[in-house]
Amino acid sequence: MVSPQIGAGASARTRIAARLLPFLFLLYVANYLDRTNIAYGTLGMKGDLGLTDSVFGTASGIFFIGYFALQIPGALLVERWSARLLLAITLITWGALTTLTGFVRTPGELYGARFLLGAAEAGFFPGVIVYLSHWFIYPDRAKAMARFMSAIPIAYILGGPIAGKILGIHWLGIPGWRWLFLLEGVPAVLLGIATLFVLPDRPNEARWLRVDERDWLAARLAEERHAKANQDRVTVWRALRDRRVVLLTVGLFFCYSGGYAFWFWMPTMLQRLTGWSTERVGWIGAIPFLAGLVGMLLLGWNSDRTRERRWHFAIPQLTSAAALGAWFFLPPSNAMLVGVFSLVVFGTIAYLPSFWALPSSFLSSSAAAAAVGFINCTASIGGFFGPKIIGELSQRTGSFRGGFIFMIVCWTIASVLVLLCPREPAA
């Protein structure tokens, strides 16, 4: 016979996942569509705005300079104020800015639009990570993050073909790349409005949970906070200087440097290395992200099953490095290129749930919230340097070989640094 407490726990976990994760998933799809549509937009906008590889690399990466500014405040506001209000404001603001990007006329205006977009999106991701820690117990956290973060490959899987189609239109005398930005900002605005009515801030506000389910969840989360408080009473300032936080931050910096460089440049690399049309690049470019989606879900599940996080980060990173390294030695073909890119995307996505389960495994409440914001905002600077360095190398050499070596080095360093992080305490 199942005890009432166990029954309440099982039903609460199921109900929370079913009610929150699909909506958060939609928000993150909108987030990545608006963040990365420049990767496909550049295939149509280069002639209009006079974008060189160097300019495109800077325009892609400057997003992360704006993104840097508001990460920690965003995470702390979710912890201490309201996730619902913060996420709603963030969505509406970045959706409007994405639409306005469709009106830029010069590289300078594009830089400004991308910078402001990064600032507008800054609080979203760390805010959601902290928000999930209010609702999911530790053994469920990587699976929850995997389901939430599966929006990243889904956004690319959907975004590539959609972008390929939109780039081919020319309505009202307006080129397709402008329509790409004009149309893809609208869903974020609508979802921001919906957030005000859909997301409760805390479990005690969720009318769709029974009283016994709320009580069970509150008790379990309180136990986890108490256990972590007994292990180490860490203030926000001490958390930011913690050796584990520093290692995770620097490791993620190199991970982002290589990962965002690859994601932003992949459509351009596919087109130049194969000669395919823009529309075909949109369709074929979705294939590698299917591998990323499968990897994320499987590794997130296995990470929770084994309660192991560090190797679940390192192995995908080394997979990406090895796959891109193999490109130098395998006989060239379009099929081989797609296979290599699929393994690269697998490695640059599959690690995410395991990594973001790490900070809350050894820190609690405000310290964990500040650490998540600090790790993501500082590491996100890699998202500026990576695409920019690839652009500079490509423009100077006329080849992606130097860029490939740069990414391989980044992923190798990232894996080593996170493996140096001490083992997380057992939950």
pLDDT-based confidence at residue 96 (cuts at 50, 70, 90): very high
Please return the burial class of 340, using the count of CB atoms within 10 Å of its CB with bins 0-12, 13-18 and 19+: buried
Dist CA 417 CA 421 (whole Å):
7
Query: Which pLDDT does position 74 carry in this prediction?
Result: 62
Range list of H helices, 102-235 = 107-121, 124-133, 138-149, 151-167, 176-184, 186-198, 211-231
Give me the percent of the chain exceeding a pLDDT of 90: 46
pLDDT by residue (tens digit) across 185-217?
999 999 999 999 998 888 888 888 888 888 888
Over residues 32-66, the pLDDT tens digits come to 888 888 999 988 888 788 889 999 999 999 998 88
The residue among 162 and 204 whose pLDDT is bigger is 162
Of 247, 169, 175, 232, nearest to 415 by C-alpha is 247
Q: Are 294 and 342 in contact (CB under 8 A)?
A: no
Contact between 66 and 115 (Cβ < 8 Å): yes
Q: What is the pLDDT of residues 321-356, one digit of tens each?
A: 999 999 999 998 999 999 999 999 999 999 988 888
Tell me, what's the pLDDT at 427?
Answer: 47
Span 4-420 CATH architecture: Up-down Bundle (1.20)
345-389, pLDDT tens digit by residue? 999 999 988 888 787 666 655 666 667 778 877 898 999 999 999
Closest CA relative to residue 166, chosen from 182, 152, 180: 180
Residues 335 and 97: beta-carbon distance below 8 Å: no
Q: What angle do CA 124, 418, 330 make, to 5 degrees?
A: 95
Domain boundaries, the chain: 4-420
Structure tokens at 216: 């069970």
Residue 289 exposure: Cα atoms within 13 Å on the Cβ side: 24
The pLDDT of residue 1 is: 42
